[in-house]
Structure 1
Amino acid sequence: MNDQLRPGDIAPLFHSKDQHDNPVSLEDYRGRKVLLAFFRNSACALCNLRVHQFMQRSTVWQQEGMEVIALFESPEASLRKYVGQQDAPFPLIADPVAEIYDLFGVESSEAKAQATLSKPGIHEEISAKVEAAGFKLIPEEGSNFNRIPAEFLIDEDGVIQVAYYGELITDHLPFETIERFAAGHGEDARRLQP
C-alpha cells in the first residue's frame, strides 16, 4: 500500500493537462476549495456515473467557491472516448502511468477489487444503477481493474481537510460531506472524515 495522506497535510502539487489540452496545476487553485477525485479508469461505468453526479452539482459548488478536478488512470485517447463524451465543465485528467495517483497514495488492490465483486448481488446492483443512468459496463483495454477510488477535499490554502480512500471499488466520499465542505463548513467536513 502507498503512503496515504491525512487531514492537515499539504496537498502535493502536480501539473498536467485536461481533456481539452488546457494546463492544470493544483497550485493555480489556491484561494478556492477543491474536490480532487481519483477514479479507476475512463470507461468505468460507476466512475462515469459519479462524474455525472458531480456535473449535476458543479454549478452550485462553483458558486460556493469549490472546483472539481477528476483523474483517471487511462490514456488520453480513452479519456476522450469514454468519460470525455460527458463534456464535464471541470478538468478531466488522464494519468495513465499513475504518477499523480502515487503522489496522493491512491491504492491499487486486487483483494479489495475482488472483495467488491464477491459481495452477493453486487454485480446486478451495479449494472442496474449504471444502466438506469445510461452508462454501460465496458472494459477498458489495458486499464488497472484493481484501482480503488479516492477523493480529497482541499481548502483554499492547499491543505487537505478530508482524505477519503475507498475500501471497495464502489466506495466514494458521501455527498453530505462534500456539500458541507463546499458550503464553507470545513469543520463539519473534518468531523465527518470516515
Structure 2
Amino acid sequence: MTDQFQSGDIAPFFQVEDQKDQSVSLETYRGRKVLLAFFRNSACALCNLRVHQFIQRYASWQQQGMDVIAFFESPEANLHKYVGQQDAPFPLIADPEARIYELYGVETSEAKVQATLSQPGIHEEIAARVEAAGFKLMPEAGSNFNRIPAEFLIDENGMIRVAYYGEFITDHLPFETIDQFVADH
C-alpha cells in the first residue's frame, strides 16, 4: 500500500469504467470539485446508506460545481446487484482487485473492523440505522470485509484539499465538511 495522502497533495490520475460502462478519468473533472469515496463493498449496508445520502445531496452539490465518484471493492456483477440498484446519478466503480484503493492508500485493517464491532451496542445501532433507510445487513461473498472507508475532497486543479481515512467502518467525512468545501469558491 502507498502512503496516505495529505491536504495539498496532487490526486493520482486514474482511468476506469463505471457501472454504466462509461469511461471515468479524474482528469476529465478538472475545473470541478470532486468527492472521491472509497467504500468497503457493494453489499455493505452502511455503504449503501452513505450512497443514498450522497444521492439526496447530489443535485445541490452538482449545481455548486462538485461531482462524486464512488469506488467499491466488489466485482462488477455485485455492484449491479447491490448498490447499483439505487441508480446513482454519479459513477459507481467496481475495483475488485483494489488497484485504485492501493493508489490512494486506502487501508485494510482487521483490527479496526474488530474495534468497531466490539463497541457495546454497535450491531444494534448499525442495524437500526440501515434498516430505517431500507437497507439490510448482509455479507458479500468474496469481498474484503476488513476494508476501511476513505473519502477525498479534490479541488478544481486536482489537488487534494481533504484526505479522510476512516478510523472505523462507520467513520466517514462529516457532511458539514463536504458542504463547506462545496460552498468555498
Q: Same fold (TM over 0.5)?
A: yes
Count residues in correspondence.
Answer: 185
Q: Tell me, yes or no, if structure 1 residue 72 matches structure 2 residue 54.
A: no
Q: Distance in 2 between matches of 1:78 and 1:43?
A: 8
The Cα shift of 1:183 comes to 1.1
The Cα shift of 1:43 comes to 0.1
Q: Distance in 1 between matches of 2:105 and 2:117?
A: 23
The Cα shift of 1:136 comes to 0.2
Q: Distance in 1 between matches of 2:55 and 2:152?
A: 17
Is the CA contact (8 Å cut-off) linking 1:2 and 1:107 kept in structure 2? no
**Where does residue 97 of structure 2 map in the other structure?**
97
**Where does residue 58 of structure 1 map in the other structure?**
58
Q: Distance in 2 between matches of 1:2 and 1:164?
A: 15
Is the CA contact (8 Å cut-off) linking 1:64 and 1:184 kept in structure 2? no
**Where does residue 38 of structure 1 map in the other structure?**
38
Structure 2 gap ranges (5+): none
**Where does residue 136 of structure 1 map in the other structure?**
136
Is the CA contact (8 Å cut-off) linking 1:42 and 1:79 kept in structure 2? yes
Is the CA contact (8 Å cut-off) linking 1:41 and 1:74 kept in structure 2? yes
Q: Distance in 1 between matches of 2:3 and 2:112?
A: 17
Q: Distance in 1 between matches of 2:103 and 2:5?
A: 9
**Where does residue 165 of structure 1 map in the other structure?**
165
Q: 1:94-147, CA deviations, whole angstroms, 9 ceiling, x for partnerless residues?
A: 000000000100000000000000000000000000000000011000000000
The Cα shift of 1:2 comes to 4.1
Scaled by the length of structure 1, what TM-score is found? 0.94
**Where does residue 190 of structure 1 map in the other structure?**
none
Which runs of 4 or more aligned residues in structure 1 lie more than 4 Å from their structure 2 counterparts after TM superposition? none
Q: Distance in 1 between matches of 2:148 and 2:120?
A: 19
Q: Distance in 1 between matches of 2:160 and 2:11?
A: 6
The Cα shift of 1:179 comes to 0.3
Q: Distance in 1 between matches of 2:5 and 2:83?
A: 27
**Identical residues among aligned pairs (%):** 78
Which residue type is aligned with residue 156 of structure 2?
Answer: E
**Where does residue 81 of structure 2 map in the other structure?**
81
Q: Distance in 2 between matches of 1:169 and 1:2?
A: 20
Q: Distance in 2 between matches of 1:75 and 1:129?
A: 26
Structure 1 gap ranges (5+): 186-194
Q: 1:76-109, CA deviations, whole angstroms, 9 ceiling, x for partnerless residues?
A: 0000000000000000000000000001000000
Give 1:13-28 correspondences, 5 Å limit: 13-28=13-28
The Cα shift of 1:184 comes to 1.8
Which residue type is aligned with residue 86 of structure 2?
Answer: Q
Scaled by the length of structure 2, what TM-score is found? 0.99
Is the CA contact (8 Å cut-off) linking 1:112 and 1:169 kept in structure 2? yes
Q: Tell me, yes or no, if structure 1 residue 182 matches structure 2 residue 177.
A: no
